[in-house]
Amino acid sequence: MPDEPDAKADLDRSFSELYRTHLRDVYSYAYYRVGNHHDAEDLTEQTFLQAYRHYERALRESDGRPLRPWLIRIAHNLAANYYRDRARRPESAIEDAAVISAPHTTETLVEGREELERILAGVQRLPDDRREALIMRFALGMDNREIARALGRSDGATKVLLHRAVKQLEGIVGENGADPTAEEAA
Amino acid sequence: MSTTEFEARLRAALHPVEPREDFAVRLERGLVNLAELAADELEAWELSSMRDPRNWARPAAAAVVGAGAGAALVVLRMRGRHRRRRAQSANVLDLAERTVRDLADEARRLLP
C-alpha cells in the first residue's frame, strides 16, 4: 500500500488549511454561543478534534461543497451538549465583546457602546435557532445556503428564520427590555 | 432606524472574534501532534492492540496524553525515540508493542 502515507499526508495538509481558514469562524461562533473566552476555547478545541476524526468522510461526502457549514454544525451540536450537560444558557453578558474600533468622541463612543451592548443582550434573549442564525449571518458572514446547511434546514426556511430573527431583535432593542416573546406572539 | 441601518449595527455588534494567539498556537500544535501520532504510532498500534491485553493500557495512556498539559512533551519524546524503536523492531507488530510500552512508560513518568 505505497500510496497510503501520501494520502494521509495530503489529508492532513488539507485539514490544516481548513483549520487555518476557519479557526476564527469557529471561535467566533463558539464565543457568541457560550459568552466567554474560556468556554469558547474549549468548544473550539473540541470542534476541531471532532472534525479531524471525521474529516476524511466529510471530504468524501461534501462533493466539493465548502466545509464551513459542516464545521459550524459540529460546533452547534457540541454547544447543545454543553448546555444540556451543564443545564445552563449563555451568560447574559458577553465579556468585552462590544469593542468599537473607529474613532469617536467620548459621548458618541459611550452611546455607541451602549447600543451595541443592548443589541448583544437582545441577541442572547432570542430563541436558540434565531440567535444562531444571526451569529452565522452577521459574525461569520455566512450566506443563506451555508446557514441552511449548518442548521439542517431548507434555504427558504432559513430566509424566513433570519427575517424573523432580525425583526424580533429590532423589537427587543427598540423596547429596551420588552418581553422577547412579544414579537413571536404577534 | 431602518432595517438596513439596524443590520449594520448588528454587524458591528456581532463582529468576528479573534482567538488568543497562544490558544491558536496551542491548538494547532495539538492537532499536528495528533495527526503525526495517528499516522505513525497509533496506526501501527491499532493493527495489533486488541490481541494482547498488555496493550490495553495504551488507550488509557492515549486519553491521558490527549487531555493533559504534558501531552506535547510526551509526544515529542515519543517522536524522538521513534527512529530507535524502528531500528530495534523486527517487524510492524514488534514496533507497535515497543511503541505502546514506551508511550505508557513515558505517560506514567511525565503525567500525574
Residue contacts between A and B (CB atoms, under 8 Å): 90
In this prediction, residue B46 carries a pLDDT of 52
Give the distance from residue B53's alpha carbon to the nearest chain A alpha carbon, in angstroms: 25
Q: Extract the C-alpha cell encoding B7.
A: 443590520
Residues of A with Cβ-Cβ distance to B6 under 8 angstroms: 166, 169-170, 173
CB B110 within 8 A of CB B61: no
Average pLDDT, integer, range B18-35: 85
Lowest mean pLDDT among A145-149, A155-159, B104-108: B104-108
Average pLDDT, integer, range A50-61: 91
pTM score, whole prediction: 0.66
In this prediction, residue B70 carries a pLDDT of 43
In this prediction, residue A11 carries a pLDDT of 84
CA-to-CA distance for A116 and A182, rounded, in angstroms? Answer: 22
In this prediction, residue B101 carries a pLDDT of 66
CB B81 within 8 A of CB B102: yes
CA-to-CA distance for A48 and A51, rounded, in angstroms? Answer: 5
| Span A135-155, pLDDT tens digits | 999 999 999 999 999 999 999
Average pLDDT, integer, range B83-99: 63
The residues of B whose Cβ lies within 8 A of any Cβ of A are 3, 6-7, 9-20, 23-24, 27-28, 30-32, 34-35, 39
In this prediction, residue A58 carries a pLDDT of 93
Average pLDDT, integer, range A43-67: 91
| Span B54-77, pLDDT tens digits | 554 554 445 444 444 344 444 545
| Span A74-111, pLDDT tens digits | 999 999 887 766 655 555 455 554 443 344 455 555 66
CA-to-CA distance for A47 and A72, rounded, in angstroms? Answer: 8
